[in-house]
Structure 1
């Protein structure tokens, strides 16, 4: 007995070893078989990482797995992925693996697909990416092609997969996610039954309109199969759209042109709760606790052929009469609900499908809302004709229905409106095809948007609709600290509400107070945030949805730290750009004029402006405007009026004020009735110390004109003239916005201001030309405005002047005779009329009427030495 058990055990081990080892012998054959099948049947690039064979997983059948399958299209979808699958497993009889190349096709009994992603596309030219099967002379499933496959499936499954369908012609997109489908039956018999189970989430959009959004669907169906006629009949089945139950009857038959369909369906119950069940659960919440009354019925018929040119006719009806519902945890109920809607196609032409909403009425509290609409041409240029008549308190929506909005709704909407349009007319602004008639009134409404930095509180809005135009009769609103009242016209309100079109219009706007930052939006990213430890501040943006012209009048406009009074002008807004035209305002006791553009299209806003100022108070303007302080910091020491024209370009910071280092442009300034306060500027105090013959507090700046240009943080001042009594001055140079400077001031100083020695010399010469003599004195100003550095050439200038005076007089004396020279030198050197001193030697000129050239030279040396010695003593007054 032991021997028998031992033999049996050894035999079992051998069989098990063979079951494990034999697949390795067939591994190459299986791979070649799969590759041959693909090459013979598929017109696409197919890749997989491995093909494995097992005799154990599906014993006694063989189990083949293709791993990491990827199918990539050829032209015209070249490079696009048609399908991927983590695993595709087949089971078949072991004997099928032993067939030679000349034998019948290999018969597959079951298929299991895991984590498949399938994308089906039809482009605008009608090409499909899933038509990848190679043409064959014999397309029968039992074709005697070597190494082919035939399918005698008993069961199949698709697990955790997804399907995408995109049709560019009909503008249809459908997405199935979390798809799980399985079926089992006997496919080898001519007539049999297939038991299927399907669950998935479905989303569907047609021509930019979303009809389904992650709606859960479920179908358990017993399907009768007639393989000879390729006809599949619904026998016992029940499906769900979200939680709405539907039962199906009818069949689908494969024909040469496509499919022949004859299906009816309806909801087996008639509670109005079935209507709420159609709404996605994330919106309808827990409908089990909802109290409902009234009925709800869905009944449909789909009959006809699906071919390249036709679809089945449709007759789907949805009705409810005098229904109501109330969520137990909400204070309001919705009552008097009447729904009568049909989805129809009577011709089989897909373009003739339409939705007829005969009645859609409801009541919340005492507010009754009625509507009807017909929507045609769903798959192309959708046509809409709708009527709205009713009152709706928007705050009651969330009190009666558990819908979540980003912001709480409020306000009362009253509408009596008929509208007729096609979507292409809205998209192309073809106003002649947009027919509107009626009125809409909105009161106490609060509108919030990511395009607005503050909510917009609409106290009252009254609009009259007339074809493609909307007359805004009154618009009284507030946002942030701003109030305004507007009238005007809107060209494409429906385009703005129903699509991504801009809000176009022309408006007259009046305001008591406007704060510019209230009308800006925060961008997602802010510029210049590198290497910062704190969170970046979002930059402000001009709303992208605005395309309008505004003729504005405002009593007060607040911009940054400026308060502008009596503002008037035109503002054209488009593509996140504001074009300012003829904007004027009272500012700094003068008048401001402004034209130019501001753009926030880029991450960093830019501006290009022309600014005119008439009669600005200098002290106020330079105290309030950083830009003016940077352009002319010395102006804070000035009192009086200013006229200026400034052209400038640059970028704006997150608070919409100029980034000074980016600013470039030029300016022309004129000073009127201006006085100087040297105590307000260190530079003037330093100049007073260095040049004691000028009192800078008494400068005459009236009618002063100056030109300058600036870029890259540097201001270049063109030479301009100043006067102080009989002293002429020319000033030029440059400074940077950080107030470092390099200026030259050239003073034409009359000789009489240069000290007593020079004045005595001039008096001795006693010549009119000499009396008018001036010398240029240059003051070089460096450092910064808080701590200026002053250097002058005053000492050298006096020395040069003295040399010139002596030379002039020497030549005059030589011509007139030596006595006069001697008398002059004696007087200049402090002696008596009759003597001069040289090297401690007294020469009496009364007894000697002649002298020689060396005596004159010595006298000149002594004169120059004395003058220079005296000037040296005063040098300290010229030091920094």
Structure 2
């Protein structure tokens, strides 16, 4: 017996040790096959943390489980940089037998734990999840290293954003928990699925339909892969507390989506529907008292394509609904709603909406109405809405913490007829609106906004745009003795004839105390007295003399600061006078961030600009500043310190035509300090032009003419002419990127230079010139300068054994230069290097490369003993110590690592011997002709290489700019991300290590 026990313990121990050892023994084999399969099948960048690879036989026994930590997939091509998926932990289950004894490991399970998923579909239908490599004839004949036999898929705590731009549909899901299992190897199989998530946001064509709703689902889906059909019966789903059953199928034929779905809410409790009302479903929702019944049912059936929609019929009934917050004395009761939305065809325009019943009581204040819309083609409608609201009583119904309200609102509205904007037809409308004795007080601020009142009426008796009248006969409020009063009347909805006035004063700080805005500081006083009478038809015809707008507007002690503008804008005093022709800016004393700015001038055509889509605002302004920091307003992150600021390309408005005379004592731009800035700038049609814009900088003066053209924001251009005088060469190297790239030798040159350059090219995302795109021509004039101690001089003296000097004096040099395709070309120019006449020519590339040829004429005696020895050996030589030796020297490599050599590869001894034995100047000239030919051949090769490099760099810059431009079109996605972040607030995410391994 004891022996049997020992044997059993031994067997058990062996099994345990085997279970531990097998994953370790076969770890490399499994990981290698995973990497191989990723390489062969996925067209994307896959990364994971090699320190977080784990294998276990216990996690998914009897399968072996492979875990990858910090796993992710990043797209390529049009999805470059987009992360498709990032998972904290990805676990893959494999059939143990297939790993140990088979050639093809069988994948049986997939587990995603923590992370984010971003699905993106472009306008043309291209999707970022389509990352499998397309098969060719060779790959089709070879078999994959994996077999798919997945039995279970599990998702835990994953967030997802689905961004389908072809449908203008965006959905953000938070904290997805899902589990599905089935025989995925079959063409038709049942897939039981359970899932929960928070719908953070769901929007279509920019409209947000669902926000922060809890979702749950439990269904068995029959999957028919051959027909791409997904069917389910008795599917149970829920949004918040609103539960509904759904049966039917969704299919994906070659074109569109085929629906056949029927749904019904089994719960008749009104409170379940109440949970869908925004703001109602909070932690205290369960304590809300409620009664009443509800029914909800409908169907969707048919094909959805670009030209058709499914038919549908959706019905909602609420009877005798009531809800009451437990801590408040009054309920909302007698809620009765009947609504049907129906379309029996495949065309959206045949949709009808019927709301025959809509009524409820807010305490003792009843509201009732009805509405009918026969279709979305000629918009034949009829409806009315009547009611009263007592705002003070409203606070006894809804919890409004920290705010006191009062006021009486009476309203009644009726409409009947057809709306047709093309034929200028309106329904007959009669609406009255009256609000009196309004009062708002915030507990955090002692003053109240009071005596709020408004009286308005809207009428169109004949149902035409011509007899439409909207009359806001009076509106206003009072805040601590300061009043605002106004009126506005608009007649003829087509001509838009208006007459209105507003007068009074308002303290913005007091308004903000009552109605605070998050992350925003706003204060100051506005005094206005403006009257206006006119017609929009006169604006369109530019008959501004028929528009009578007059008055004045004064702003004092204004300050604005927000999350987007942390620099802050302060206006000490500003005053503007208005007349029909223009608005005169009489005074404007401000501080933009830390930069003081005063302005005066006028604006014309302001009525057309304000009231039409295509109106252009014109004007002349004089801007003056003692100090202006441009970096502060061009930073990507808008930080208060300019050291970490990152400049960005700025788009300019096309509907502003301004001429601006600028005068500034000091301007900070990037790393340049500009003094005595003067000039004229014109902003017109989206282009900023500079005219005689002069400034002192780098110990000299620059005058600028030209323009900045960002109309194509993905391809911004500039075209300038520069007149530079007495600029410090050393400081130009320190501050100007172009000088650093193309003339790094300037680092070791002291002195000044003058030049006139024509300068054009592209700007990068950081507002700096793209060096590879520059097109420059001009003459660089150096009156006097000195080149001191640098590697090129060291190389020259070492090679030639000439006069060992560490300084070269440069006087009265004119260097013709041009830059094209990323290469600066220096045309041949003469200069004295030490005491020797020299012709210099060559190129410098934007990539730091140099290629120069120096043709020198050096007296033979300067070579010392070498030359004397050769002279003595030449019998009857016509050469002597004053004979000029043609010396051709190549400078290649880079400025920091120059390669100095004699042209042709000769040694200095061979060169001297050949030159001294020659008798005629023509022979001497041949040496340099040969050197010139060799140099030119090298130049042509370098030009071609640099041109290719330049094109690649420019393409890269354009892609980066296009990506930044595309970001501005992702507003809906950014909103979804922001909402998703708000939903997940308070849920810490693990810190991710930097060590990752990248595949593909």
Relative to the length of structure 1, the TM-score reads 0.58
Q: Residue 375 of structure 1 aligns with which residue?
A: 490
Distance 1:769 1:464, change over 3 A: same
- Superposed CA deviations along residues 643-688 of structure 1, whole A, max 9, x for unmatched, are 12233333434442234344342342010122332x1x21112223
SS of equivalent to 1:541: coil
Alignment of 1:410-425 (within 5 A): 410-422=523-535
1:669 aligns with 2:780: yes
Q: Residue 735 of structure 1 aligns with which residue?
A: 844
Distance 1:285 1:783, change over 3 A: farther
1:541 aligns with 2:541: no
- List alignment gaps of at least 5 residues for structure 2: 1-228, 235-245, 265-294, 321-334, 342-352, 639-643, 922-1000
1:198 aligns with 2:338: yes
Q: Which of 703, 714, 724 is residue 613 of structure 1 equivalent to?
A: 724
Q: Residue 363 of structure 1 aligns with which residue?
A: 478
Q: Distance in 1 between matches of 2:568 and 2:419?
A: 51
Q: Which of 634, 658, 662 is residue 520 of structure 1 equivalent to?
A: 634
Contact 2:885–2:916 under 8 Å retained in 1:
no
Distance 1:397 1:537, change over 3 A: same
SS of equivalent to 2:523: coil
Give the number of equivalent residue pairs: 614
- Superposed CA deviations along residues 560-612 of structure 1, whole A, max 9, x for unmatched, are 11111101112223565432222111122221012223344424644333222
1:778 aligns with 2:888: yes
- Superposed CA deviations along residues 103-128 of structure 1, whole A, max 9, x for unmatched, are xxxxxxxx98526699xxxxxxxxx9
**Which structure has the higher relative contact order (CA within 8 Å, separation 6+)?**
2
Q: Distance in 1 between matches of 2:772 and 2:697?
A: 25
CA shift, 1:411, in A, is 1.5
Q: Which of 609, 616, 621 is residue 507 of structure 1 equivalent to?
A: 621
Contact 2:356–2:370 under 8 Å retained in 1:
no
SS of equivalent to 1:580: strand
Q: Residue 64 of structure 2 aligns with which residue?
A: none
SS of equivalent to 1:409: strand
Distance 1:260 1:638, change over 3 A: closer
Q: Residue 334 of structure 1 aligns with which residue?
A: 449
Q: Distance in 1 between matches of 2:779 and 2:662?
A: 29
Q: Residue 45 of structure 1 aligns with which residue?
A: none
Q: Residue 466 of structure 1 aligns with which residue?
A: 579
Q: Distance in 1 between matches of 2:385 and 2:891?
A: 95
Structure 1 window deviating more from structure 2 (382-391 vs 488-497): it is 488-497
SS of equivalent to 1:753: helix
Q: Residue 96 of structure 1 aligns with which residue?
A: none
SS of equivalent to 2:520: coil
Q: Which of 691, 696, 699 is residue 800 of structure 2 equivalent to?
A: 691
Q: Which of 823, 838, 841 is residue 714 of structure 1 equivalent to?
A: 823
1:349 aligns with 2:469: no
SS of equivalent to 1:739: coil
CA shift, 1:541, in A, is 2.0
- Superposed CA deviations along residues 519-572 of structure 1, whole A, max 9, x for unmatched, are 437499xxxxxxxxxx99783424548653321111011111111110111222
- Superposed CA deviations along residues 341-394 of structure 1, whole A, max 9, x for unmatched, are 22222434344221111111210112110010002334x453432201010111
Q: Residue 748 of structure 1 aligns with which residue?
A: 857
Q: Distance in 1 between matches of 2:417 and 2:700?
A: 81
Alignment of 1:799-814 (within 5 A): 799-804=913-918
Distance 1:447 1:330, change over 3 A: closer
CA shift, 1:406, in A, is 6.0
Decide which structure has the larger Cα Rg and report it. 1
Q: Distance in 1 between matches of 2:354 and 2:448?
A: 30
SS of equivalent to 2:522: coil
Distance 1:514 1:85, change over 3 A: farther
Contact 1:68–1:87 under 8 Å retained in 2:
no
Distance 1:298 1:692, change over 3 A: same
Distance 1:251 1:586, change over 3 A: closer
Q: Distance in 1 between matches of 2:621 and 2:435?
A: 44
Distance 1:427 1:478, change over 3 A: farther
Q: Distance in 2 between matches of 1:459 and 1:382?
A: 37
Q: Residue 435 of structure 1 aligns with which residue?
A: 548
Distance 1:305 1:649, change over 3 A: closer
Q: Distance in 1 between matches of 2:745 and 2:370?
A: 92
1:586 aligns with 2:696: yes
Q: Distance in 1 between matches of 2:569 and 2:340?
A: 41
Distance 1:802 1:713, change over 3 A: same
Distance 1:85 1:435, change over 3 A: farther
Contact 2:866–2:909 under 8 Å retained in 1:
no
CA shift, 1:642, in A, is 0.3
1:114 aligns with 2:298: yes
Distance 1:659 1:288, change over 3 A: closer
CA shift, 1:732, in A, is 1.4
1:570 aligns with 2:726: no
- List alignment gaps of at least 5 residues for structure 1: 1-48, 55-64, 71-78, 90-110, 119-127, 134-155, 161-179, 184-194, 202-216, 222-236, 525-534, 808-880
Structure 1 window deviating more from structure 2 (663-672 vs 240-249): it is 240-249
- Superposed CA deviations along residues 274-294 of structure 1, whole A, max 9, x for unmatched, are 8x89xxx9xx98469865556
Distance 1:576 1:456, change over 3 A: farther
Relative to the length of structure 2, the TM-score reads 0.52
Distance 1:712 1:488, change over 3 A: same
Contact 1:330–1:399 under 8 Å retained in 2:
yes
Q: Residue 456 of structure 1 aligns with which residue?
A: 569
Q: Residue 366 of structure 2 aligns with which residue?
A: 245
1:475 aligns with 2:563: no
Q: Residue 16 of structure 1 aligns with which residue?
A: none
SS of equivalent to 2:446: coil
Q: Distance in 2 between matches of 1:703 and 1:377?
A: 76
